[in-house]
Structure 1
Amino acid sequence: MMTTGLLPEGFHDRLPPHADAAAAVEARVLEAARRHGYERADPPLAEYADGLSSRLKDGALIDAVRFVDPVSQHTLAIRPDITAQVARIAATRMGHHPRPVRLSYAGPVLRLRAEQLSPSREWRQLGCELIGLDSVAAAQEVVAVAVEALDAAGAAGLSIDFTLPDLVATLAAGPLPVAPERIESLRAALDAKDAGAVMQLAPAYLPLIEAAGPFATAIERLRAFDGQGALVSRLDALTAIASGLGDRVAMTLDPTERHGFEYQSWLGFSLFVAGAVREVGRGGTYLIVHADGAEEAATGFSLSADAIAANATPAQRRRLFLPLGTPPAEGAAMRAAGWVTVAALEAGDTPEAQLCTHLWANGEPRPL
């Protein structure tokens, strides 16, 4: 027998003031994006599973909840990520639009399983996608917009961890050949920083484990490692992106980080804020797959409104209690001035009962 009021594992109610805080984060992030030309798209919660999984190269819907649509009898998927939907919109409904297309979005996503460090299976995702370019200039813009959006949302202690998702593939196809059947195991060993496994699979890749840490140090170690110049363009691009940020954020580089970057191409980055136990967002470059098989470059980032709100500087909570009988015009004037007003609806109501910080008395707000 199900107990009334319980929710399934991985789901939770968002209560005040946390729901309000997350909504405020969402609004500020989207407004920061809008000021850079990113217009909002709002795709549906569910789509045909086959179409959704085919839009991002190597972006299979392994985390999607699927069900059979009783109307069409086709398999639908509840989106575990909105990026693929934005890719569909850009490739179809906005396929005629001059490139690049700048789109922002916000909405709930649902995942089949929770991650170890993130027990929620349902959360609100927001972000930006720049469709049509994955150049250095595009990456610089997207990273800068992500930082500005987090600033606008009130996040403090920003840091970015860069990675090179196609690093192993690039080296294995060029200066450091690796048997195809070993590449996936090598990627996993490097991601886990398992020196013993890397030694057995491909000893030449061992220096990559040490080439992780503060950005300036890590980039120099990678340049020293790249004796044949296979990574010059990527390392120059990373340096340009980092220099554009200046001292606004702390920066690190982990060239073999793989988790969460399954479909990214040459660039990936994770976004952190002070107090968070894990990243609050990710981004990078990737490829959109069109219906005819053609590929299109894109760059973007996504954030978790809940994670940002939980670690952002809390907004000052000002609630003004209006005693019973307060003229409506006085309350309207205070709301126009930026106050949140809570009107008494019965004689026994009190400011304390309504969690108010101020009392309207003698024509002015008085702190409690």
Structure 2
Amino acid sequence: MKIPPDLLPEGFRDRLPPQAEVAARVSRAMIDVLTSYGYARVAPAIAEFESALAERSGGAARNQHLRFTDPVSGHTLALRGDITVQVGRIATTRMQESPRPLRLCYHGQVLRLKAKQLRPERELTQLGAELIGNDSVAAACEIVGVAIDALEAAGVKDITIDFTLPDLVERLAEKALPLAPDKIDAVRSELDMKDAGGLSVLGADAYLPLLAATGPFDAAVEKLRAIDAGGALASRIQALESIAATVAGRANVTLDPTERHGFEYQSWFGFTIFAKGYSAALGRGGTYYINRADGPSEAATGFSLYPDPLIDLAEESNVQRLFLPLGTDAATSAKLRSEGWVTVAALDDNDNAAVLGCTHIWANGQAVIV
């Protein structure tokens, strides 16, 4: 069966005018915010050796990457499904001698082997910033603030930041609420699924109150404080309160300390970003460690945003397109463009301003509304 010439694989799409222009405008507004905070832009390769990419992805299964055989090297390559791990590779290899903390940002396309329920696309735009060499409270405050600024620059309003503590169970299991080492993963999983019955079956009833420590930040953190037997979480709670204070009045803050989905490789702090009008999360971030082949792991803090929903719902910019009749001289055309006009030059007498989507026409030395 012959594939129709305009048919794309499932999960892929073209962006046509004016949506492609909107995509560029939204992405540029966000990138400009990141660079204004001192984050230098990098552009990692779209494909890497599959074995190295999987290793840096935390041992991701091979079937999570779109793979192919490289006819040049004979090795299996994989198309990237996440740019964050590539930034980590760059930071710990080619930029390993650069002063820390190292601030890097990125923007590009990633490919997913399978689409998610809330996002049927398999080709996604990923944009983000990584602060490498520091995972302190100050670093987390900066990263959360930069993420909010980037979204606001793209026109996003009514932002909600949902905090989590990825290492919560491990920290409590050490002393405050002891657990056998072989039960930690199971308890963490049941908490993530909010399964009270599963916790009881595991003999982890002491962890049940954690399920109620969710919701608006102020109320949820007080419930978490009440659970904090022996002060095991005192420093974590203080850190969360410090981060929340920096975004007060700019974003709604909620807390779900047992959330693990998407935070499997984060260390002490994680956050997810939502906004009114968008069904899926717009991004997530937090603290983590970058594995190095030649030395100890390096602490880092960062976030990734997925702006495609913003692009789909963004309003088209009111571009003024000026039609230049046949014979308009180059100097006049250049001057008009320098003044901010988008010019569309006639190539023959049959070209028509209205048909070509122009809002104005150059006539008698001035721009006239079509």
What's the TM-score once normalised by structure 1's chain length? Answer: 0.93
The answer to whether the aligner puts 1:315 opposite 2:317 as a matched pair is yes
Aligned to 2:132: 131
Aligned residues of 2:321 and 2:344 also touching (Cα < 8 A): yes
Equivalent residues, number: 368
Determine what percentage of the aligned residue pairs are the same residue. Answer: 55
Deviations 1:120-169 (A, max 9, x none): 11112111111111001111111111111112222222221111111122
Q: Distance in 2 between matches of 1:180 and 1:65?
A: 35
Q: Secondary structure at the match of 1:332?
A: helix
Aligned to 1:243: 245
Aligned to 1:353: 355
Q: Distance in 1 between matches of 2:170 and 2:292?
A: 23
Inter-CA distance 340–199: structure 2 relative to 1 (3 Å threshold) = farther
Cα offset for 1:355? 2.3
Inter-CA distance 351–198: structure 2 relative to 1 (3 Å threshold) = farther
Deviations 1:314-364 (A, max 9, x none): 433332333344443333223212222222333333333222333334433
Aligned to 1:73: 74
Deviations 1:61-96 (A, max 9, x none): 662212222222222221110111111111111111
The answer to whether the aligner puts 1:49 opposite 2:50 as a matched pair is yes
Aligned residues of 1:55 and 1:290 also touching (Cα < 8 A): no
Cα offset for 1:207? 1.7
Inter-CA distance 88–362: structure 2 relative to 1 (3 Å threshold) = same
Name the stretch that deviates more: 34-43 or 47-56: 47-56
The answer to whether the aligner puts 1:226 opposite 2:265 as a matched pair is no
Q: Secondary structure at the match of 1:316?
A: coil
Aligned residues of 1:285 and 1:300 also touching (Cα < 8 A): yes
Deviations 1:187-242 (A, max 9, x none): 33322323332333322222222211111221111111212211111111111111
Name the stretch that deviates more: 34-43 or 172-181: 172-181
Cα offset for 1:305? 3.0
Aligned to 1:168: 169
Matched to 2:88, the amino acid is A
Aligned to 1:184: 185
1:74-153 correspondence runs (5 A): 74-153=75-154
Q: Distance in 1 between matches of 2:333 and 2:177?
A: 71
Q: Secondary structure at the match of 1:206?
A: helix
Cα offset for 1:58? 6.2
Aligned residues of 2:19 and 2:316 also touching (Cα < 8 A): no
Q: Secondary structure at the match of 2:64?
A: coil
Return 5+ residue gaps in structure 1 as ranges.
none
Return 5+ residue gaps in structure 2 as ranges.
none
Inter-CA distance 61–290: structure 2 relative to 1 (3 Å threshold) = farther
Q: Distance in 1 between matches of 2:15 and 2:217?
A: 37
1:272 to 268, 271, 274: 274
Deviations 1:288-315 (A, max 9, x none): 0100351110011111232222244543
The answer to whether the aligner puts 1:7 opposite 2:8 as a matched pair is yes
Aligned to 2:367: 365
Q: Distance in 2 between matches of 1:231 and 1:103?
A: 31
Deviations 1:86-131 (A, max 9, x none): 1111111111112111111111111111111111111121111111
Inter-CA distance 320–250: structure 2 relative to 1 (3 Å threshold) = farther
CA RMSD of aligned residues (A): 2.1
Matched to 1:153, the amino acid is A
Cα offset for 1:367? 4.0
Q: Distance in 2 between matches of 1:358 and 1:159?
A: 42
Matched to 2:17, the amino acid is P
Q: Secondary structure at the match of 2:230?
A: coil
Aligned to 1:29: 30
Deviations 1:15-37 (A, max 9, x none): 22222111122222222111111
Aligned residues of 1:165 and 1:261 also touching (Cα < 8 A): yes
Aligned to 1:260: 262
Q: Distance in 2 between matches of 1:59 and 1:138?
A: 27
Q: Distance in 2 between matches of 1:159 and 1:39?
A: 27
Q: Distance in 1 between matches of 2:250 and 2:30?
A: 17
Inter-CA distance 9–179: structure 2 relative to 1 (3 Å threshold) = farther
Q: Distance in 2 between matches of 1:166 and 1:112?
A: 29
Aligned residues of 2:40 and 2:105 also touching (Cα < 8 A): yes
Q: Secondary structure at the match of 1:208?
A: helix
Aligned residues of 1:321 and 1:359 also touching (Cα < 8 A): yes
Q: Distance in 2 between matches of 1:334 and 1:274?
A: 40
